[in-house]
């Protein structure tokens, strides 16, 4: 029996999604299309009668902006939004800012695919010579984290994303769900994939083929042990969703 509903949402398209660049911890706002995706998502959720009690986001603007736009479209602007770096996108290290096609030309398609899609391989670390290093680590938002800036990631595999996300899930999100609150997690492709892997027990190999399109809400129906009782549902026009996954 389904006891709880949990919604996951990869933020709407950002400017660097459109340019096929590794955005990661660089703070980007939504593109025009991304704004529309978030608004459309909110309208869909409202039409289907869903109501949220609490929203969790990362501390990156595109995640927060998506949550705001969804809640506005639902007429639920008053719903509390809680932010944590532990829901941030995966840290892509020295790959941040690079175009994926250019990367494939430089390093080979297989190497880039390994960095992007493998579960436990960490890309090369970012260092102080990187053009976005100071923009990230001098950003005041990272002084609010529950670890010192010097201990924040310099690159992550998907496994390492899950390792830093799980303590927050267990300590902060799970108690809210168990209290009967309907929760939306408005986060990123990889933080959502990492959580899906954990909740659905997806293998290290199979997680590579799990793709979440931007702006498409994912509904998980969970039992009393927070285990899924049925396959995840991507809500909306299924033909459009499949086209977005292929893209």
In this structure, what token pair is assigned to residue 175?
Answer: 């108690």
pTM of the complete model = 0.96
Residues 6+ apart with CB under 8 A from 45: 7, 70, 73, 74, 217, 235
In this structure, what token pair is assigned to residue 147?
Answer: 């670890």
Active site residues: 11, 89
At 44 the pLDDT is: 98
75 is in an annotated binding site: no
188 is in an annotated binding site: no
At 108 the pLDDT is: 87
Average pLDDT per consecutive 10 residues, the chain (247 residues; last block may be shorter): 96 88 95 97 98 98 98 98 98 92 84 87 96 98 97 98 98 98 98 98 95 96 97 95 86
* Planar angle of CA 160, 138, 154, nearest 5 degrees: 20
At 146 the pLDDT is: 97
User: DSSP state, 24?
Assistant: T
232 is in an annotated binding site: no
Number of helices followed by number of strands (H, E) in the chain? 10, 6
Q: Please report how many Cα atoms fall inside a 13 Å half-sphere around the Cα of residue 200, on the Cβ side.
A: 21
CATH placement of domain 4-246: 3.40.50.1240
Rounded CA-CA distance 229/124 in Å is: 38
Q: Delimit the domains of the chain by residue range.
A: 4-246
15 is in an annotated binding site: yes
Residues 6+ apart with CB under 8 A from 3: 222, 223, 224
Paired sense of beta strands 183-187 and 217-222, if any: unpaired
32 is in an annotated binding site: no
In this structure, what token pair is assigned to residue 112?
Answer: 């880039």
- Which of 20, 71, 25, 50 shows the shortest CA–CA distance to 186? 71
Strand order in the sheet with 4-10: 81-83, 54-57, 183-187, 4-10, 217-222, 233-234
13 is in an annotated binding site: yes
């Amino acid at each position: 029996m389904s006891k709880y509903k949990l919604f996951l949402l990869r933020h709407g398209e950002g400017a660097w999604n459109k340019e096929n660049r590794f955005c990661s911890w660089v703070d980007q706002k939504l593109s025009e299309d991304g704004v529309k995706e978030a608004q459309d998502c909110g309208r869909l959720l409202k039409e289907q009668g869903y109501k949220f009690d609490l929203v969790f986001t990362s501390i990156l603007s595109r995640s927060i902006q998506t949550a705001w736009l969804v809640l506005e479209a639902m007429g639920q602007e008053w719903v509390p939004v809680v932010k944590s770096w532990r829901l941030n996108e995966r840290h892509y290290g020295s790959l941040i800012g690079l175009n994926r096609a250019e990367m494939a030309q430089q390093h080979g398609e297989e190497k880039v695919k390994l960095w992007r899609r493998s579960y436990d391989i960490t890309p090369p670390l970012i260092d102080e010579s990187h053009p976005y290093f100071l923009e990230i680590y001098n950003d005041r938002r990272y002084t609010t984290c529950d670890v010192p800036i010097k201990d924040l990631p310099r690159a992550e595999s998907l496994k390492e994303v899950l390792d830093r996300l799980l303590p927050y899930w267990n300590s902060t999100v799970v108690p809210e769900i168990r209290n009967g609150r309907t929760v939306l997690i408005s986060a990123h492709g990889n933080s959502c994939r990492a959580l899906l892997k954990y909740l659905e027990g997806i293998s290290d190999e199979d997680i590579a083929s799990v793709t979440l399109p931007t702006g498409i809400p994912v509904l998980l129906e969970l039992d009393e042990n927070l285990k899924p009782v049925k396959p995840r549902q991507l809500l909306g026009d299924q033909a459009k969703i499949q086209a977005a996954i292929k893209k």
